[in-house]
Amino acid sequence: DSGVTQTPKHLITATGQRVTLRCSPRSGDLSVYWYQQSLDQGLQFLIQYYNGEERAKGNILERFSAQQFPDLHSELNLSSLELGDSALYFCASSVEGPGRSTEAFFGQGTRLTVV
Amino acid sequence: KNEVEQSPQNLTAQEGEFITINCSYSVGISALHWLQQHPGGGIVSLFMLSSGKKKHGRLIATINIQEKHSSLHITASHPRDSAVYICAVTNTGNQFYFGTGTSLTVIP
């Protein structure tokens, strides 16, 4: 158990809908990362938050947004869903100071299926 | 062009064999990560390196910053090592770049 909790584990929804994925980081970790893993594109970094602020942005679509709350949990919002958004979405957390890389601990992922 | 290249893509080994997975990268990095993903989908961070060598049990990871290359070695491989091994790097802007993974199967 990594200590990172993601909910829900599975999600099936229709095209055009909006979903929210939730991540609770390990106790004490200030950084949360979101990743997308699809069959045709492998793992891709979406976005990172550190202590409530956006720290780094990857290949995140404009239809997607994220935030980190004062209690440090994070939510990834996916809207106007398309079939191609079907993927595993991972959250990871780390204790990270400014300018430092530290080991990341991954949640079990949310498997999103868009039908 | 991928910023991170891994080889081989697929690897089958007999139990007990010594295994090496290679990773080359083309960007300046602050750290390199080796990740393990089991068939159930969960990802485990094995190592984070910025220089030198690290060892955890039968796993050894090395990095050569000048050559922009890292290797993951598994000694005395076991069927439970069967998984996808992913190399990832973070640059100084905290951007992550992932390799496409090496699928390892260890046969008893």
User: pLDDT tens-digit profile of A69-98?
Assistant: 999 999 999 999 999 999 999 999 988 755
Question: By a Cβ cutoff of 8 Å, what residues of chain B touch chain A?
Answer: 30-31, 33, 35, 41-45, 48, 50, 86, 88, 90, 92-101
Contact B95 A104 (CB under 8 A): no
Residue in chain B lying closest to A93 (CA): B45
- What are the pLDDT digits (tens) for B37-83? 988 778 999 999 999 999 999 999 999 999 999 999 999 999 999 99
Among the listed residues A92, A76, A109, A115, the one whose alpha carbon sits nearest the alpha carbon of residue A8: A109
Give backbone dihedrals phi and psi of B62, rounded to 5 degrees, phi first. -130, 155
Contact A56 B44 (CB under 8 A): no
